[in-house]
Chain A
């Protein structure tokens, strides 16, 4: 299982990120999902693109490999779960993750991250972010069953996917035409 981010539909509105915070009433500076603005220079035109990213639930999760207390597990369906009960807040995972996913909770002195709304998924609900997206730009796909093509494994602004093999997939944005002022 992994997220599919449709950058063509995404409007960078942050509703996904805030719905996630609302669902888990998380600390102000703990961001399980983040909407990143992509630098204008990444595209040929002054585009203002965004990437909405949470945990990439990697095939080879570095967080899981480096955690000294085995707070991380990977479920059979691919979800990488962080167990805050085992976590000692050593931040090894934060250093290892190329995507800066694990977040440090200053109050609890522990790490935390997106568990792909495992509780909601198990109840047959959509993830909070997917349910909140006003333009249906976010979804969770099952890699065993997917038949749609046209996905890419990275977009400008996304770190090298070869290190940990993220399961996040993207649909590329189309670039519209622009007519600028003569004077």
Chain B
């Protein structure tokens, strides 16, 4: 008999630049192989190492197979329960709290970016239909840069990144695509083949720096000073784009005067590069065109984060690179997400929003009413949040903690109830990305494994249960499926942008979204003035300087914690994800902190020494790896070192910007200061 075999289309929903399209080969109800989808014009049939490990995730024996109740939080004593029991427990608690406090505000949701599938927002939709609830607002990640570009350009758009191939000079500024966006490399290589120079600017000699023609080591968090120094040199040489500045910018005269007032010696000292090096780089910017500046999510995770990005935007503008194919300053693209109205998300209630980056602090301070039930979705809160000590405190008063997960994690340890959820191969959805200009569909390749349910199904089931216990207590739909929800999300405008008649047409191929290939090509910006704003009233209204001006950088206390700890994204995980898979474990290097040879000598540390990294917030113990790739005053410990939990060391300081676009300021993760001690002493 012939084996039943079919190919299904998928798209990776992780918080990643590339949002790759995937094909799954399904034989007799089991996925036997996956490959990249060649019909996707940007990812072109290739996946990253994490992507190829997906079947280990789907068919992992460690998947959570049924709802689990922990008898005694932290006890590890898990008892399998039925879905009905779990739903009853959740809904009774919600109703009980509602009656005790006269409001649903004690019910709190903490959700972030674990799964960017459109319908994975269903839990938020559910919360929005329960009554006024407490929810977190903001992003620990990209907030500061989003606001900066909103002040300068008026919105967050990028050019189709395939335009990299048309660049004459590529500045990879605080971004490590060799690790975090491998699909961009072919376009960068194409540009190089045509004669483009590729330059990496980073405090760390990253893998991307290695593949570049030139590497500039900037002092951490001081990127803005380098941008201002470059701008000053270019303007002094009268090489700015006068035509652009005259017609399409606001506040150029003021900005020019501001540049004049800056002292090059000071700028050079602040950014850590000597004037000769900066002048050389300025020369490259003058003599190459177009210049494609890719602003990574690195330099904006500091107290000066937003200002750093504004300074780089200004550099891109005055060199006349905005709106050019192969040029521009690119950070993120919200156009694909903005195609959707998130109809199932809307609320008529007045929710109480907590700052996602001060969650523990705000939770502790809440009264009238306090939070008594916490639901964690799409997030490994206890590994990825800051100020964890305070968080452990804050949850003591919470009566029920629920986590939706595929695997047992650090966060399930602190949960009372864990609900098993599906991988994206077991559900139907679309995934809007934030970098390339494509949209792809997830078909359901196999039915949900074990007793796993999609986020949408969980929301539907909770709504049913709520209504069966108390009619009208939840207005989220009680029936429907992914298809009916997607039907409501796609409107004529979306279809016309996608050039398809129905979302199910994406089963034939991912679709290129018909948005401008080159952003700001008409030089009409979405700022109040319609121009590029060197000088932004909106920034001032939000409490920032009118023009990009950097504050004194956060410094360690004298003689204590004088090393800066950088914790960028690792090669083989997305935040906390993927680390538990056996294939990934086999290739992932042992957790280690990178330390400069001179610093290591000073501290009597050699490669392989067990070291303790500590500050007032916590400590972690791991191996040291001596490396010339890092500067002397910096330790580097990549994210994804599992249970060692580097976030124990984070203070929870916020970035300067972020509240305009994401609702709250971002997390200044890289303003973390520590000491290092040899543990074997």
**339-378 of chain B: CB within 8 A of chain A:** none
Least distance between A141 CB and chain B CB atoms (Å): 20
On whether the beta carbons of B182 and A18 are closer than 8 Å, the reply is no
**B213 contacts across to A, CB distance below 8 A:** 176-177
Tell me whether A40 is interfacial, beta carbon within 8 Å. yes
Known A11-B185, A19-B47, A132-B36; contact A48-B629, beta-carbon cutoff 8 A: yes
On whether the beta carbons of B189 and A46 are closer than 8 Å, the reply is no
Instruction: Give the secondary structure class of B's interface.
Output: mixed
Name the residue on A nearest B46 (C-beta): A134
A47 to B628, CA, bound (A): 9
Q: Which of the residues A48, A176, A181 comes within 8 Å of B207, measured between beta carbons? A: A48
On whether the beta carbons of A40 and B215 are closer than 8 Å, the reply is no
Tell me whether B579 is interfacial, beta carbon within 8 Å. no
On whether the beta carbons of B55 and A22 are closer than 8 Å, the reply is yes
Interface pick from A28-36, A83-91, A104-112, A143-151: A28-36
On whether the beta carbons of B272 and A182 are closer than 8 Å, the reply is yes
**B215 contacts across to A, CB distance below 8 A:** 176-179
A140 to B205, CA, bound (A): 31
**1-35 of chain A: CB within 8 A of chain B:** 9, 11-15, 17-19, 21-23, 25, 28-29, 31, 35
Interface string of B181-211 (1 = CB under 8 A from A): 0110110010000000000000001010111
Q: Which of the residues A9, A17, A134, A178 comes within 8 Å of B217, measured between beta carbons? A: A178
A12 to B49, CA, bound (A): 10
A45 to B628, CA, bound (A): 8
Tell me whether A95 is interfacial, beta carbon within 8 Å. no
On whether the beta carbons of A37 and B186 are closer than 8 Å, the reply is no
Known A13-B182, A134-B182; contact A35-B272, beta-carbon cutoff 8 A: no
Tell me whether A133 is interfacial, beta carbon within 8 Å. yes
**B627 contacts across to A, CB distance below 8 A:** 40, 46
Tell me whether A152 is interfacial, beta carbon within 8 Å. no
Least distance between B188 CB and chain A CB atoms (Å): 9
Least distance between A37 CB and chain B CB atoms (Å): 7
On whether the beta carbons of B586 and A29 are closer than 8 Å, the reply is yes
**126-140 of chain A: CB within 8 A of chain B:** 131-136
A49 to B627, CA, bound (A): 13
Interface centre among B32, B34, B216, B586 (most CB of A within 10 A): B586
Instruction: Give the secondary structure class of A's interface.
Output: loop
Least distance between B31 CB and chain A CB atoms (Å): 10
On whether the beta carbons of B571 and A179 are closer than 8 Å, the reply is no
A166 to B564, CA, bound (A): 46
A18 to B48, CA, bound (A): 8
On whether the beta carbons of A135 and B217 are closer than 8 Å, the reply is no
- Could you say which interface size class chain B belongs to? 35 or more
- Could you say which interface size class chain A belongs to? 35 or more
Q: Which of the residues B48, B274, B582, B583 comes within 8 Å of A15, measured between beta carbons? A: B48
Least distance between B178 CB and chain A CB atoms (Å): 4
Tell me whether A183 is interfacial, beta carbon within 8 Å. yes
Least distance between A113 CB and chain B CB atoms (Å): 16
A134 to B187, CA, bound (A): 11
Tell me whether B252 is interfacial, beta carbon within 8 Å. no
On whether the beta carbons of B272 and A46 are closer than 8 Å, the reply is no
A25 to B53, CA, bound (A): 10
Known A13-B571, A177-B214; contact A22-B52, beta-carbon cutoff 8 A: yes
**A46 contacts across to B, CB distance below 8 A:** 205, 627-629
A172 to B628, CA, bound (A): 22
Name the residue on A nearest B589 (C-beta): A37
Least distance between A49 CB and chain B CB atoms (Å): 7
**A28 contacts across to B, CB distance below 8 A:** 56, 582-583, 585-586
A37 to B627, CA, bound (A): 13
Interface centre among B210, B277, B629 (most CB of A within 10 A): B210
On whether the beta carbons of B46 and A133 are closer than 8 Å, the reply is yes
Least distance between B573 CB and chain A CB atoms (Å): 12
Least distance between B194 CB and chain A CB atoms (Å): 16
Name the residue on A nearest B200 (C-beta): A176
A22 to B50, CA, bound (A): 11
Tell me whether B218 is interfacial, beta carbon within 8 Å. yes
**B571 contacts across to A, CB distance below 8 A:** 13-14
A159 to B209, CA, bound (A): 27
**B209 contacts across to A, CB distance below 8 A:** 176, 178
Interface string of B241-270 (1 = CB under 8 A from A): 000000000000000000000000000110
Tell me whether B33 is interfacial, beta carbon within 8 Å. yes
**A49 contacts across to B, CB distance below 8 A:** 210
A48 to B280, CA, bound (A): 25
On whether the beta carbons of B587 and A14 are closer than 8 Å, the reply is yes
On whether the beta carbons of A22 and B182 are closer than 8 Å, the reply is no
Known A134-B46, A176-B210, A178-B205; contact A19-B273, beta-carbon cutoff 8 A: no
Known A12-B207, A14-B572, A15-B46; contact A40-B185, beta-carbon cutoff 8 A: no
On whether the beta carbons of A132 and B629 are closer than 8 Å, the reply is no
Name the residue on A nearest B278 (C-beta): A179
What are 10 residue pairs bridging A and B, where the CB atoms are less than 8 Å apart in the complex? A11-B182, A12-B207, A13-B48, A18-B49, A28-B56, A46-B627, A135-B189, A178-B209, A179-B217, A183-B269
Closest A-B pairs by Cβ, 9 of them: A46-B628, A18-B52, A28-B582, A14-B49, A181-B272, A18-B49, A134-B46, A22-B52, A11-B178
7 more contacts with CB within 8 A, not counting A11-B211, A131-B45, A178-B209, are A14-B572, A15-B52, A18-B49, A18-B52, A22-B33, A40-B629, A48-B210
